[in-house]
């Protein structure tokens, strides 16, 4: 599964475009975000993506979970969102 990493500076529309492309190619995707700003941008991007794929009859669901990731040798807790069709 392809993982898209979102930061607080990410544009929700750009992330939504990338997420839509991954979903159309693979049928599912994963988004990771560290920090409140990044999680905010990720959730907005997922909502926009849902609007992009809905006209094609695809109803997306988002499954959040915590995951430990390594950033520059430091372990951080991220939130991952598994996105897949219902």
| Tens-digit pLDDT profile for residues 53-85 | 989 888 999 999 999 999 899 999 999 999 999
The 3-state DSSP class for residue 72 equals: coil
pTM, entire model: 0.90
- Rounded distance between C-alpha atoms, residue 33 and residue 12, angstroms: 12
Q: How far apart are CA 74 and CA 8, in angstroms?
A: 19
> For the chain, which domains are there?
3-85 (3.30.110.20)
Share of the chain above pLDDT 70, in %: 100
pLDDT at 11 over 80: yes
Give 3-39 as a DSSP string: EEEE-TT--HHHHHHHHHHHHHHHS-EEEEE-SHHHH
pLDDT computed for residue 48 by the predictor: 95
């Amino acid at each position: 599964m392809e993982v898209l990493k979102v930061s607080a500076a990410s544009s929700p529309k750009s992330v939504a475009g990338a997420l839509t492309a991954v979903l159309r190619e693979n049928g599912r995707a994963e988004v990771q975000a560290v920090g409140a700003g990044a999680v905010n941008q990720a959730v907005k991007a997922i909502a926009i993506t849902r609007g992009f794929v809905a006209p094609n009859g695809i109803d997306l669901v988002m499954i959040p979970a915590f995951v430990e990731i390594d950033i520059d040798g430091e372990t951080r807790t991220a939130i991952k969102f598994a996105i897949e069709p219902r």
